[in-house]
Amino acid sequence: MSSSTDSPTLTTETTQLSPQPDTETAKPTKKITLKSSDNQIFEVEESVAMEFATVKSFFEDSPSTDTVPLPNVTAKPLSQVIEFCKEQIKFKANPDEAQKKKYNAEFVTEKSDKDLVDMIPVANYLEIKDLLDVLNQAVADRIENKSVEYVRSFFGIDNDFTAEEEAALRREHAWAYEGVDED
């Protein structure tokens, strides 16, 4: 099971604005409301929210809160992080290392470079170690053996070296320039 990630709007798995009563089951699961920096509201099951160590400790400190503000997280990476954590909950209940590995690989494969880079600070801020590992490895795999120019455009980094400085570095590390992949 994997949801579409191309849609820029919130997926149907998250509800907007005020909490809705759970009509599907007699015993409603507790929902937690997360608010992104761009004022989007996400309602997630408590078990998913507890995957976020930051949110978990927020609730432990102030249990009466109904909405958790995430002032440094925007909606898009947050929705992707929620998507990842929902799957991890299933693997927690039903451990299957092979399936988990497969899902993690698919999760990063279908993301754009920017999506991956944007999710890293979010996974770090929310302290989701598994996701951070998956993302770091995915980014490393994408830039491995690539050129300097490729990496700059990957991360959106401006070249702040002068031509002379860059030429000096190139001379100093000539061995590292051999056999680099075509962009």
Which residues make up the interface to another protein (CB under 8 A)? 37, 39, 69, 71-72, 117, 120-121, 124-125, 132, 136-137, 139-140, 143-148, 151-152, 155, 157-161, 166, 169-170, 173-180
Beta carbon nearer to another protein, 24 or 144? 144
Beta carbon nearer to another protein, 2 or 72? 72
Three-state DSSP class for 87? helix
Q: Beta 31-35 vs 41-45: how paired, if at all?
A: antiparallel
The alpha carbon of 121 is separated from its chain's Cα centroid by a whole number of angstroms, namely 8
Position of tokens 């007699």? Answer: 26
Q: Beta 41-45 vs 67-69: how paired, if at all?
A: unpaired
Task: Find, among 119, 131, 128, the residue nearest to 50 by Cα.
Answer: 128
- As measured in angstroms, the least distance from the Cβ of 101 to another protein is 15
Beta carbon nearer to another protein, 9 or 167? 167
Beta carbon nearer to another protein, 64 or 145? 145
| Tokens linked to 180 | 């680099």
Count of beta carbons in the 10 Å neighbourhood of residue 101: 12
Count of beta carbons in the 10 Å neighbourhood of residue 99: 13
Beta carbon nearer to another protein, 92 or 170? 170
| Tokens linked to 30 | 């507790």
